[in-house]
Structure 1
């Protein structure tokens, strides 16, 4: 199938600077493969990494593509063949530790970049064969790569939402156990917040989304995705409004997916009912200096920190997208070609084209 020996790639060579390079494709063994990248979604991790480049790196890890070439053992292990369409996980786990055996690759020490681990979109170019990111025409399939079959009828612009949506299913369904009769409050109507809306609604829960006036368009999108109510904190007191919506019962689950200040962390304790669950799912890059531990105690609140997704959550996300129940395509705001990866990253960061939400890159465009 392969008709070339090189791949064009957008390499982040230093902070906030991209250079297009032509890179050699690797010689493959029976145990690895090569992916022809179709489209790559962008997330906050890509934006953050772009401003902290220590070694040239190909970014991009929300990858959908087609198996271009694959070794015999790899094909048997993954259950795929050349030409199959797949969605990639970002993790490159060991596959044998207790966490990997549960499908919890995010907990495997070999995926922790802070400890020298490797992930797609976050591994330096000088680690051979270098094609470790989605902002490239081709991406190397490491023997430990985690792939999921993606139905061909799913539009690429929806398929690249697989990993964010997998986070939503992991946090809402697998960790929080939301379902019919439960009320969920989502703090923050960004990409991860909308993933939580979709997952909670798919499970049958009542969903309330909280955001500011600056996110009023995103709040409206949440309602189109199925949110039962939205709260604009610029003009409404969120605690009072949530009490009003729920008839004083408050929320069974409150999840904070904002990356701003810490005020919403403490507000979460007031929004959740007795014996409820508060989930912290976004880094604040700041410490919560004061919080009412007596309130947490008196209401018997469970506070849980969550990040990432499991193998099972990715499968749930693919099933949800494939079913076509929700208008996921409305989240796709911008698509760029390989030559414009810098513009794509700046747009996702809020300093490029206006009103970004789900920004993507099509390397063959």
Structure 2
């Protein structure tokens, strides 16, 4: 009797606990497929989800891999065939609502987990076929999955930065419309901050990155990625320094990608020029009740809350990575196998190996 083929997966079974399990590979119909996972990047969402496990889940949604099997209709719909290399979006949208028709899958109700929606890396294995996350040798390609072709020459360590970089292009280029002659201040040199640096530099803007002494290594990496200036708030007054750098003109755009408190929002209003734009792109996980609304009025500022990416922004990110223009590989700090997913998540959370930035998992090593 032949046994059904299976996939080895690292399953988060409860808060901060992972177990290796085998899950059966699904039968593939005309409308779906199966992905052989090559590498998966980690982000703060994975860390946050690992702290709030309610049902067993395969985490990981920054996924790049090769199409192992695909149905005839799915192949035509996605424009890919078996063997093609692809980058996955985390969203499983309905595909028909007004948001989906604009490529804004993050706004589709079907992707909102708070309303029972599904996303890769955030869906229980109890929902068949269970292979809903990247920390597995194989991942199920749902008929509503969103895939992008990834050129074969791109190193896996760079390919898994696609979704963070897509956020940077969404926020900087598509929403803030930065470009040549514009000055951008990025608060926070983490993954999303560096994505904003890359996107803004790709668009031709002047970029200033602000961070603390504890992030001095990341600030140095931002310089390697092309940032024009860095400001260390432990030893410098950020507002005075940005006033000096810009000759008193201040920034056209300030993007806050930190989890800090209201003082950073107030600083953003002081750093931006009159009629400038402040982008709030990181959850504070607390109600911010104190900020200077009078300064927003006095300077006629625009304040935008932004999250996630569009289909077009992912394509822009892939083009940027494929060009080889930026040394994106320097961002990968750690790579682990499936047996060490718990250690990988703890490292990404700052409680494991030292100096984490882009932590990844290779399921086959």
Q: TM-score, with normalisation over the residues of structure 1?
A: 0.99
State whether residues 262 and 291 of structure 2, in contact with CA within 8 Å, keep that contact through their aligned partners in structure 1. no
SS in 1 for 2:265: helix
The answer to whether 1:159 aligns with 2:159 is yes
- In the other structure, the counterpart of 2:118 is 118
- CA–CA separation in structure 1 for the residues paired with 2:159 and 2:260: 28
- In the other structure, the counterpart of 1:227 is 227
- CA–CA separation in structure 1 for the residues paired with 2:223 and 2:243: 19
The number of residue pairs the alignment matches comes to 363
In the TM superposition, what is the alpha-carbon distance from 1:4 to its structure 2 partner? Answer: 7.1
- In the other structure, the counterpart of 2:215 is 215
SS in 1 for 2:74: helix
- In the other structure, the counterpart of 1:356 is 356
In the TM superposition, what is the alpha-carbon distance from 1:263 to its structure 2 partner? Answer: 1.2
Provide structure 1 residue ranges, at least 5 long, that are not aligned to the other structure. none
- CA–CA separation in structure 1 for the residues paired with 2:119 and 2:318: 21
State whether residues 262 and 290 of structure 2, in contact with CA within 8 Å, keep that contact through their aligned partners in structure 1. no
The answer to whether 1:262 aligns with 2:262 is yes
Deviations 1:78-105 (A, max 9, x none): 0000000000000000000000000000
- CA–CA separation in structure 2 for the residues paired with 1:23 and 1:288: 43
State whether residues 40 and 63 of structure 1, in contact with CA within 8 Å, keep that contact through their aligned partners in structure 2. yes
Deviations 1:205-257 (A, max 9, x none): 00000000000010000000000000000111101100000000000000000
- In the other structure, the counterpart of 2:179 is 179
- CA–CA separation in structure 1 for the residues paired with 2:150 and 2:221: 25
- In the other structure, the counterpart of 1:196 is 196
Deviations 1:174-223 (A, max 9, x none): 00000000000000000000000000000000000000000001000000
- CA–CA separation in structure 1 for the residues paired with 2:227 and 2:115: 39
- In the other structure, the counterpart of 1:52 is 52
The answer to whether 1:131 aligns with 2:128 is no
In the TM superposition, what is the alpha-carbon distance from 1:260 to its structure 2 partner? Answer: 2.3
The answer to whether 1:248 aligns with 2:248 is yes
In the TM superposition, what is the alpha-carbon distance from 1:38 to its structure 2 partner? Answer: 0.1
In the TM superposition, what is the alpha-carbon distance from 1:265 to its structure 2 partner? Answer: 0.7
Provide structure 2 residue ranges, at least 5 long, that are not aligned to the other structure. none
- CA–CA separation in structure 1 for the residues paired with 2:38 and 2:286: 37
- In the other structure, the counterpart of 1:312 is 312
State whether residues 262 and 287 of structure 1, in contact with CA within 8 Å, keep that contact through their aligned partners in structure 2. no
In the TM superposition, what is the alpha-carbon distance from 1:52 to its structure 2 partner? Answer: 0.4
Q: 288-297 or 204-213: which moved more?
A: 288-297
- CA–CA separation in structure 1 for the residues paired with 2:162 and 2:260: 24
Q: 281-290 or 73-82: which moved more?
A: 281-290
SS in 1 for 2:40: strand
- CA–CA separation in structure 1 for the residues paired with 2:25 and 2:337: 20
In the TM superposition, what is the alpha-carbon distance from 1:287 to its structure 2 partner? Answer: 2.1
The answer to whether 1:21 aligns with 2:21 is yes
In the TM superposition, what is the alpha-carbon distance from 1:262 to its structure 2 partner? Answer: 2.3
In the TM superposition, what is the alpha-carbon distance from 1:276 to its structure 2 partner? Answer: 0.1
- CA–CA separation in structure 2 for the residues paired with 1:17 and 1:350: 16
In the TM superposition, what is the alpha-carbon distance from 1:21 to its structure 2 partner? Answer: 0.2
Deviations 1:14-52 (A, max 9, x none): 000000001100111100000000000000000000010
The answer to whether 1:70 aligns with 2:70 is yes
In the TM superposition, what is the alpha-carbon distance from 1:290 to its structure 2 partner? Answer: 1.8
State whether residues 262 and 286 of structure 1, in contact with CA within 8 Å, keep that contact through their aligned partners in structure 2. no
- CA–CA separation in structure 1 for the residues paired with 2:167 and 2:200: 12
SS in 2 for 1:122: coil
- In the other structure, the counterpart of 1:275 is 275
- In the other structure, the counterpart of 2:299 is 299
